[in-house]
Structure 1
Amino acid sequence: MKILFVSESDRFNDGCGQMLLTGSELRSRGHEVLFALPGTGTAGRRIAAAGFPVRDLRIRHDYDLLRALKLRALCALERPDLIHAHHPRAHAVCLLAKSLGASAPLVVTRRIIFRIRRNPFSLLKYRSRRIARFIAVCAAAKNELVKAGVPERRVEILPSAVDMGLYDAPRQAREALRFAPPFRIGIIGHHAWHKGHEVLLEAARPILERFPGTVFVFAGRDTEKLRRKAAVLGLNASVEILGERADVPELLAGLHLFAMPSIQQGLPYALIEAQAAGVPAVAAGVGGILDVLLNEETGLVVPPQDSGKLAEAVIRVLSDETLARRLAANGLERIQREFSVSVVTDRLEALYQAVLRP
């Protein structure tokens, strides 16, 4: 197969990471993968550095006619068997290109769980029969598509993939980590209201009373904004705010527990990474977290926005090394079984083949 991946993303975000990871796996299986996205951004440069053809396409908005015409011309030149749009504006412009004559079947991935607008243009974008298949990364994302009028038969849940090999060394390092105070509890992800970073800060005091010296680690874009909240709560000495980091596997290797107290959440890639690294997890039971974490089996699930319950669950895990190791081992096994890049690409390949042979 010849597959064209399309994105408007200039920055190398999680979605672009998935494009590169699954694209690399598809290429290793003999498929031809090319990319259309901003060629000079960090995403385009990183993908090109991996040896993929990158065609510069700078999508400005959903109704970018010039880029739709450029995409149609690219399809006429490259003749891909299939187009796969990976981000919202790419979805709209790929659909517009198809209405202008691009003939390859279109697959669209939706990674977010926010409510789809009900205006006529948005509904047309999602209900169009020109879209052969939607990929939803979690059940909550699929539910939003179906509520917007997409026939359920045209939506398949396919999670983000993880390269397990990246976590072999950190996992081995964690196995040598002494499970004893002072503990390190981490949350990795950009700061936004729905990520619940403040909930973990609010849970810190009872955790510190039970385990003095515990350190709370925050890594991700804009986490510097948490400094004021930490100061107000008197937690400066107990908090490490690291900002955006590229060495996530190594950071995970130094954690005793991973926390994800989200208020809203799509598929939680940071949680998948933590489980791949063998870190026990406590998380809020919202959105795509429930696709990853099985309560009492692969982690502990707590109500969202409840710092008291979060603190109780954290203390429970840190008080019981046997429980912590059981949750971590079960989580690792499930990630290997359902989220590894080979497994996810098997399913993606099958979906492509089904689209091409309806």
Structure 2
Amino acid sequence: MRERGHEMAVVSRPGARILERAQEAGFTTFAIEMRGAIDLPAMLRLRSVIKRFRADIVNTHSGRDTQLAGMAARSIIGGRPRIVRTRHLALPITSKFSYSVLPDHVVTVSKFVENYLVEAGVPRERITTVSTGVDFARYDRSTIEGDLRAELGLPPDALLIGTVAILRKKKGHAETIEAAAQVIERFPGAHFVFAGDGPQTANLERRIAELGLGQRVHMLGLRRDVVNILKSLDVFVLPTHQEALGTAFIEAGAMGLPAVATNVDGVPEVIQDARTGLLVPVGDSRAIAEAICRLLDDPVCRQGMGANAAEFVRRKFSREAMAHGMEALYQRLIDAERP
């Protein structure tokens, strides 16, 4: 959006990682403590920031900030900014008020989420789907080393299956570990890697040890070199239980990787079954193992799906397409309020 000539600011709670990243990228930032959905001091500070920044649009991303920033923006007399709420999650909503009353419009990241909100009572004409976009300039394979095998001390021809995601139960890491035991029986040279950290770290490490997979399943922790990890992989796997869309699948596809994913929520909007990857039922480690083995067993099929994935995501999920969609919505909302 900045490259398209717009001025952006980020408002979040003190210490939030997004503030650090925004500052690194040269954006204006404001830190405001928000103790709850009813926090008058926070509301007044948000109102002051919105007025000082002279915002045309206030775009919120969760329940608390929607209620606080939405009420702050609506309290501005004369030329108040338009309020947009973005819905990123495939979870039941807890407050229809923060979708149907406070915001002027709602943005969803997938048609699955849009349809859910309509079923929950939000008017479809007040919802626009703008899919998550990725900066594909970061995924140029010719500029990325892809040296994870060397880092782990593995032979150059080792088969590498990997996941990049926060270590939460609903991401399906536990099923991937169960599947890994089955895959390694058929492909003794295969290795699995998990990049990310989270609340399930200790549980996953314990299960890896119980199955005797310590030399085959590698916990990498939180990594900033995601593109290096993705380039090193042969297959991407993320058997998530719940997903509004799945940015990780877009990133894997951008790197030309076929994916093993679950047929749930918005995932089929990113993964085309048998064309860019393989879809399996939720919680089925045997089906996950079979899908991984199918891809490992057929390099031509694997590479073909990876090429299809790269073409598909670059056509549909570019950063430019996302910025264009958001810009068009913002402009439409602003124009609708002009005399």
CA distance in 1 between counterparts of 2:27 and 2:221 reads 30
Query: Structure 1: any 5+ residue segments left out of the alignment?
Result: 1-25
**Paired residue for 2:255?**
277
Kindly report structure 1 stretches of 4+ aligned residues shifted beyond 6 Å. none
Matches within 5 A, 1:60-139: 60-101=35-76, 103-117=80-94, 122-128=95-101, 130-139=102-111
Which of 320, 323, 334 is 1:342 aligned to?
320
TM-score normalised by L of structure 2: 0.90
Could you say which residue in structure 1 is the equivalent of 2:179?
Answer: 203
CA distance in 2, matches of 1:330, 1:215: 24
CA contact (8 A) 1:185 1:255 kept: yes
Query: How much does 1:170 deviate?
Result: 6.4
Given that 1:182 and 1:211 are in contact with CA atoms closer than 8 Å, whether structure 2 keeps it comes out as no
In structure 2, runs of 5+ residues without a counterpart are 150-155
Structure-2 residue corresponding to 1:301: 279
- Per the TM alignment, residue 216 of structure 1 is displaced from its structure 2 partner at its CA by 0.9
SS in 2 for 1:212: coil
- Paired residue for 2:229? 251
Match of 1:328 among 298, 302, 306: 306
Cα distance, 1:172 vs structure 2: 6.4
Partners of 2:261 and 2:183 lie apart in 1 by: 16
**Letter aligned with residue 197 of structure 2:** R
User: Does the Cα contact within 8 Å between 2:161 and 2:190 map onto a contact in 1?
Assistant: yes
Question: CA offsets, 1:194-246, max 9 Å, x none?
Answer: 11101111112221121102111111112532111112222222110111111
How many Å apart are 1:277 and its aligned residue? 1.2
Deviations, residues 168-204 of structure 1 (Å, cap 9, x unaligned): 0368657xx9xx9531100111111211101111112
Deviations 1:281-317 (A, max 9, x none): 1111112211210101111111111111111111111
CA distance in 1, matches of 2:115, 2:69: 23
Other-structure match for 1:185: 161
CA distance in 1, matches of 2:265, 2:307: 23
**Which residue is equivalent to 1:31?**
6
Contact 2:9–2:29 (CA under 8 A) maintained in structure 1: yes
Contact (CA 8 Å) 1:47, 1:54: kept in 2 or not? yes
Following the alignment from structure 2 to structure 1, what is the Cα–Cα distance between the partners of residues 142 and 164?
A: 16
Task: State the partner residue of 2:152.
Answer: none
The match for 1:155 is 127
- How large is the Cα RMSD of the aligned pairs? 2.0
Structure 2 partner of 1:12: none
Q: Structure 2 CA distance, aligned partners of 1:40 and 1:311?
A: 40
Percent same amino acid among aligned pairs?
A: 35
Contact 1:116 1:144 in 2 (8 A): no
Contact 2:50–2:73, Cα closer than 8 Å, also in 1: no
Asked if the contact 1:181/1:214 (under 8 Å) is kept, the reply is no
- Larger displacement relative to structure 2 (295-304 or 68-77): 68-77
- TM-aligned CA distance change 1:307 to 1:40, over 3 Å: closer
The normalised TM-score by structure 1 is 0.85
Contact 2:144–2:227 at 8 Å: present in 1 too?
no
Matched residue type, 1:154: R
Aligned counterparts of 1:272 and 1:70: Cα–Cα separation in 2: 37
> 1:83 touches 1:106 (CA, 8 Å); kept in 2?
yes
Aligned position for 1:11 = none
Residues 72, 81 of structure 1: alpha-carbon distance in 2 compared, 3 angstrom cutoff: same
d(CA) in 1 for partners of 2:113, 2:217: 33
Quote the Cα distance in structure 1 between the aligned partners of 2:127 and 2:25.
Answer: 30
Q: Report the AA paired with residue 38 of structure 1.
A: R
